[in-house]
Chains A and B, each alone.
Chain A
Amino acid sequence: MKKKLTTVAFSGTEEQEKKLCELIEQHKDEKGALMPVLQGAQAIYGYLPIEVQKEIALRMGVPLSEVYGVASFYSQFILNPKGEHAINVCLGTACYVKGSGQIMEKLESLLGIKGGEITKDRKFSLDATRCIGACGLAPVLTVNEEVYGRLTPDMLEGILKKYN
Chain B
Amino acid sequence: MIKNLADLAEIRERMQGKITFRRHNPGTTVTDGKIRKHVLICGGTGCTSSKSVQIKEKMEKCLVDAGIADEIQVVQTGCFGLCALGPIMIVYPEGTFYSRIHVDDVEEIVKEHLVGGNPVKRLLYAETVKGDEILSLNETAFYKKQHRVALRNCGVINPECIQEYIGTGGYLALGKVLTEMKPQEVIDIISASGLRGRGGGGFPTGRKWQFAAAQPAGKKYVVCNADEGDPGAFMDRSVLEGDPHAVLEAMAIAGYAIGADEGYIYVRAEYPIAVHRLQIAIAQARDEGLLGKDIFGTGFNFDIQLRLGAGAFVCGEETALLTSIEGHRGEPRPRPPFPAVKGLFGKPTIINNVETYANVCQIILNGADWFASMGTEKSKGTKVFALGGKITNTGLVEIPMGTTLREVVEEIGGGVPNGKKFKAAQTGGPSGGCIPASKFDIAIDYDNLIANGSMMGSGGLIVMDEDTCMVDLAKFFLEFTVDESCGKCAPCRIGMVRLLELLEKITSGNGEMEDLDKLEELANYIKSASLCGLGQTAPNPVLSTLANFRDEYIAHIKDKRCPAGVCKKLLTYNIDPDKCKGCTMCARKCPASAISGQVKTPHVIDHTKCIKCGACIETCKFGAIYKK
Does B associate with A? yes
Residues on A lying within 8 angstroms of B by beta carbon are 1, 31-36, 38-39, 66, 69-70, 73-77, 93-95, 97-98, 135-136, 138
The verdict on A138 contacting B312 (CB below 8 Å), with A33-B327, A35-B307, A74-B330 known, is no
Chain B residues, CB < 8 A from A35: 307-308, 310, 324-325, 327
Among residues 309 to 360 in chain B, which have CB atoms less than 8 Å away from a CB atom of chain A? 309-312, 324-330, 345
Judge whether B611 and A73 touch: CB under 8 Å: no
- In whole angstroms, what is the CA distance A77 to B330 when docked? 13
If A66-B328, A75-B310 are given as contacts, then 9 extra A-B residue pairs at C-beta distance below 8 Å, sorted by A number, are A31-B327, A36-B308, A38-B310, A69-B328, A70-B327, A74-B309, A94-B611, A97-B591, A138-B613
- In whole angstroms, what is the CA distance A136 to B586 when docked? 10
Give A161 Cβ to nearest chain B Cβ, in Å: 27
- In whole angstroms, what is the CA distance A42 to B589 when docked? 43
Chain A residues, CB < 8 A from B311: 74-76
18 CB < 8 A contacts A-B: A31-B326, A32-B307, A32-B325, A32-B326, A32-B328, A33-B327, A34-B327, A35-B307, A35-B308, A35-B327, A73-B330, A94-B592, A97-B591, A98-B592, A135-B613, A135-B614, A135-B615, A138-B591
Closest residue of chain A to B308, judged by CB?
A39
Does any Cβ of A come within 8 Å of B50's Cβ?
Answer: no
Say which residue of A73, A97, A136 sits within 8 Å of B589 (CB atoms).
Answer: A136
Judge whether B327 and A32 touch: CB under 8 Å: yes
Closest residue of chain A to B487, judged by CB?
A73
Chain A residues, CB < 8 A from B345: 31-32
| Count class of interface residues, chain B | 20 to 34
- In whole angstroms, what is the CA distance A105 to B494 when docked? 35
Among residues 273 to 320 in chain B, which have CB atoms less than 8 Å away from a CB atom of chain A? 307-312
Closest residue of chain B to A134, judged by CB?
B615
Give B447 Cβ to nearest chain A Cβ, in Å: 35
Give A138 Cβ to nearest chain B Cβ, in Å: 4
- In whole angstroms, what is the CA distance A98 to B310 when docked? 37
Give A124 Cβ to nearest chain B Cβ, in Å: 25
Give A92 Cβ to nearest chain B Cβ, in Å: 8
- In whole angstroms, what is the CA distance A77 to B310 when docked? 7
Judge whether B591 and A136 touch: CB under 8 Å: yes
Give B516 Cβ to nearest chain A Cβ, in Å: 28
- In whole angstroms, what is the CA distance A40 to B311 when docked? 15
Give A35 Cβ to nearest chain B Cβ, in Å: 5
Judge whether A1 and B619 touch: CB under 8 Å: no
Chain B 409-448 near chain A by CB (<8 Å), digits 1 or 0: 0000000000000000000000000000000000000000
- In whole angstroms, what is the CA distance A18 to B195 when docked? 50
Among residues 595 to 619 in chain B, which have CB atoms less than 8 Å away from a CB atom of chain A? 611, 613-615, 618-619
Does any Cβ of A come within 8 Å of B127's Cβ?
Answer: no
Chain B residues, CB < 8 A from A138: 591, 613
- In whole angstroms, what is the CA distance A77 to B589 when docked? 40
Chain B 477-489 near chain A by CB (<8 Å), digits 1 or 0: 0000001001000
Q: Tell me whether chain A's interface is mostly helix, strand or loop, or mixed.
A: helix
The verdict on A39 contacting B310 (CB below 8 Å), with A32-B326, A76-B269 known, is yes
Residues on B lying within 8 angstroms of A by beta carbon are 269, 307-312, 324-330, 345, 483, 486, 589, 591-592, 611, 613-615, 618-619
Chain B residues, CB < 8 A from A76: 269, 309-311
- In whole angstroms, what is the CA distance A135 to B483 when docked? 26
Give B532 Cβ to nearest chain A Cβ, in Å: 15
- In whole angstroms, what is the CA distance A74 to B266 when docked? 14
Give A150 Cβ to nearest chain B Cβ, in Å: 10
Give B175 Cβ to nearest chain A Cβ, in Å: 30
- In whole angstroms, what is the CA distance A136 to B585 when docked? 12
- In whole angstroms, what is the CA distance A76 to B311 when docked? 5
Judge whether B329 and A70 touch: CB under 8 Å: yes
Chain A residues, CB < 8 A from B614: 135
Judge whether A93 and B611 touch: CB under 8 Å: yes
Chain A residues, CB < 8 A from B325: 32, 35
Give A74 Cβ to nearest chain B Cβ, in Å: 3
The verdict on A98 contacting B591 (CB below 8 Å), with A36-B307, A36-B308, A39-B310 known, is yes
Q: In the complex, which of the residues B309, B327, B589, B618 has the most CB atoms of chain A within 10 Å of its own CB atom?
A: B327
- In whole angstroms, what is the CA distance A93 to B615 when docked? 12
Give B467 Cβ to nearest chain A Cβ, in Å: 17
- In whole angstroms, what is the CA distance A93 to B590 when docked? 13
Closest residue of chain B to A138, judged by CB?
B591
Chain A residues, CB < 8 A from B329: 69-70, 73
The verdict on A73 contacting B592 (CB below 8 Å), with A135-B613, A136-B619 known, is no
Judge whether B613 and A93 touch: CB under 8 Å: yes
Chain B residues, CB < 8 A from A69: 328-329
The verdict on A94 contacting B615 (CB below 8 Å), with A32-B327, A34-B327 known, is yes
- In whole angstroms, what is the CA distance A87 to B175 when docked? 56
Chain A residues, CB < 8 A from B330: 73-74
Chain A residues, CB < 8 A from B269: 39, 76
- In whole angstroms, what is the CA distance A39 to B269 when docked? 10
- In whole angstroms, what is the CA distance A152 to B325 when docked? 50
Give A126 Cβ to nearest chain B Cβ, in Å: 22
Instruction: List the 3 closest A-B pairs by CB distance, nearest first.
Output: A74-B310, A34-B327, A32-B327
Chain A residues, CB < 8 A from B483: 1
- In whole angstroms, what is the CA distance A47 to B286 when docked? 33
Closest residue of chain B to A35, judged by CB?
B327
Chain A residues, CB < 8 A from B309: 74, 76
Give B406 Cβ to nearest chain A Cβ, in Å: 34
Give B189 Cβ to nearest chain A Cβ, in Å: 32
- In whole angstroms, what is the CA distance A136 to B619 when docked? 9
Give A38 Cβ to nearest chain B Cβ, in Å: 8
Q: In the complex, which of the residues A32, A74, A135 has the most CB atoms of chain B within 10 Å of its own CB atom?
A: A32
- In whole angstroms, what is the CA distance A1 to B325 when docked? 23
